């Protein structure tokens, strides 16, 4: 009954109700656009492409992030990923180029400049990616038994449509952020991932029915799969929310006849401060051999099989390495130590200055190791799921970027709804009134 009362409380708050309705409306527009097919494609060709996609692990992965628009040859086929790529590049430039660092420190005006550069870079990526997508699409349709005529001017025309479609998705995401429940870009990705879940679940269920292909284990095996999926989701939640608290004691300051400070606070150091960024970096590099081998081709390289041993071993090692790399450039113990010293703070038992930096660095190294290993295991879990006979569509939900994005965005959304409820003096979604979302490492 508490859940029903919480829903009533959410609907009672006018501002929150409007934001949820606006979000649902914009999501509906996005989902309808995923079914608007590019000019020049026949429905029979799309059916052939869908069947071809279902047989390829890479194609299914790309199709998941586009919310099914990839296999539909939709105007939204490129999805929001070009914008995410541009955001990552700008974020990295802000860590190495002084001019970008200066814009980051300029507040709102600097943020607007960086957003403008991100949009320009997104358009550039789209103009490069769209023709490649169209050429690969033609190859895939032909391989799947279909036919499509694609000359130079056709590619140019469709490139403009695909670029406009992705920019429109970006605009929808910004509207969800401004007038909806927030996290618009992340929410668009979440919707695309969730849209694939019902069909994947139904296909897995029917494949386990007696008499179906791959029905080994029957419905008992299907129930076991659901239990394992729930366990993986719980593990992902713990990975996103896990922190190590470092106590900081602030010295007393005397101003006039009053004493200030003296309270103990905590610095929450996250077990996975890098978020999903290591997976995104590693995945981008691992896609290079597949790209050169040709999408969907029967490449002989061990790195073209996303369920193969060598692919996942290298993938795992790269994720661990990138986790340490990204944590090192985002979490800065020297800056933390300087801020504590400036505010008359210190870690009990540790001398201020260099010793504090070394202490924080050692803690980050210790908690990053299990976090990076767990992140790597989560990333390669879909390969293990496929190895044990789970269909490729359903296996993608057992780990990887999709699962971590899903968990992180859901926690962020619940946290925002929680804050609205607490602001209007209603009980929150949880008994303790606390939901922790992704405080660091977000890529969007």
- Residue that terminates a domain, selected from 196, 230, 246: 196
Q: For 377-414, b where at least 16 C-beta lie within 10 A, e where not — what string?
A: bbbbbbbebbeeebbbbbbbbbbbbbbbbbbbbbbbbb
> What pLDDT shows up at residue 211?
66
Question: Within 10 Å of residue 425's Cβ, how many Cβ atoms?
Answer: 7
| CA dist., res. 34 & res. 36, Å (int) | 6
What is the model's pTM?
A: 0.73
pLDDT digits (tens, 9 = 90+) for 33-47: 888 888 877 766 666
Residues 257 and 298 in one domain: yes
pLDDT digits (tens, 9 = 90+) for 197-227: 888 888 888 887 776 665 566 778 888 888 8
Cα dihedral 366, 369, 370, 371, rounded to 10, equals 110
Angstrom CA distances, 417 to 335, 344, 427, stand at: 33, 36, 11
Residue 238 three-state SS: helix
- Residue that terminates a domain, selected from 164, 196, 228: 196
Q: Which of 130-139, 250-259, 363-372, 424-433 has the lowest mean pLDDT?
A: 250-259
Residue 202 lies in a domain: no
Q: What is the pairing mode between strands 243-250 and 264-270?
A: antiparallel
Angstrom CA distances, 341 to 76, 328, 388, stand at: 51, 21, 54
Residues 125 and 260 in one domain: no
Mean pLDDT of the chain: 76
CATH number of the domain where residue 105 is located: 1.10.3370.10
Residue 206 lies in a domain: no
Show the domain range for 161. Answer: 13-196
Residue 203 lies in a domain: no
Angstrom CA distances, 109 to 128, 270, 290, stand at: 29, 30, 41
């Amino acid at each position: 009954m508490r859940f029903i009362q919480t829903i009533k409380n959410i609907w009672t708050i006018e501002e929150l109700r409007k934001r949820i309705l606006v979000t649902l409306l914009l999501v509906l527009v996005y989902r309808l656009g995923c079914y608007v097919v590019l000019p020049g494609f026949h429905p029979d060709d799309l059916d052939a492409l869908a069947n071809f996609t279902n047989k390829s692990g890479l194609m299914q992965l790309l199709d998941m992030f586009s919310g099914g628009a990839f296999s539909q040859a939709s105007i939204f086929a490129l999805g929001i990923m070009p914008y995410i790529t541009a955001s990552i590049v700008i974020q990295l430039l802000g860590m190495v180029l002084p001019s970008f660092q200066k814009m980051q420190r300029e507040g709102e005006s600097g943020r607007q400049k960086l957003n403008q550069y991100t949009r320009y870079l997104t358009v550039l990526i789209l103009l490069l990616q769209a023709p490649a997508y169209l050429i690969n699409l033609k190859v895939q349709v032909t391989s799947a038994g279909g036919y499509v005529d694609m000359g130079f001017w056709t590619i140019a025309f469709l490139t403009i449509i695909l670029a406009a479609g992705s920019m429109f998705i970006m605009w929808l995401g910004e509207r969800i952020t401004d007038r909806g429940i927030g996290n618009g870009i992340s929410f668009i990705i979440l919707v695309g991932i969730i849209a694939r879940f019902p069909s994947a679940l139904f296909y897995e269920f029917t494949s386990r029915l007696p008499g179906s292909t791959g029905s080994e284990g029957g419905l008992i095996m299907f129930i076991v799969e659901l239990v394992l999926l729930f366990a993986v989701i719980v593990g992902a939640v713990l990975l996103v929310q896990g922190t190590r608290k470092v106590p900081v004691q602030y010295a007393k300051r005397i101003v006039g006849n009053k004493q200030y400070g003296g309270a103990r606070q905590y610095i929450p150091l996250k077990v996975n401060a890098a978020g999903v960024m290591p997976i995104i970096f590693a995945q981008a590099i691992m896609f290079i051999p597949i790209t050169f081998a040709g999408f969907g081709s029967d490449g002989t390289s061990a790195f073209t099989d996303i369920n193969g041993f060598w692919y996942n071993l290298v993938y795992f090692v790269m994720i661990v390495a990138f986790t340490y790399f990204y944590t090192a450039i985002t979490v800065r113990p020297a800056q933390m130590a300087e801020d504590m010293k400036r505010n008359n703070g210190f870690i009990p038992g540790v001398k201020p200055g260099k010793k504090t930096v070394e202490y924080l660095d050692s803690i980050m190294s210790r908690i990053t190791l299990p976090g990076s290993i767990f992140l790597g295991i989560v990333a390669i879990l879909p390969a293990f799921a496929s190895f044990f006979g789970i269909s490729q569509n359903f296996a993608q939900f057992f780990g990887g970027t999709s699962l971590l994005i899903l968990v992180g965005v859901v926690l962020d959304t619940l946290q925002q709804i929680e804050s609205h409820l607490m602001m209007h003096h209603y009980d929150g979604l949880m008994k303790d009134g606390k939901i922790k979302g992704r405080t660091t490492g977000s890529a969007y």
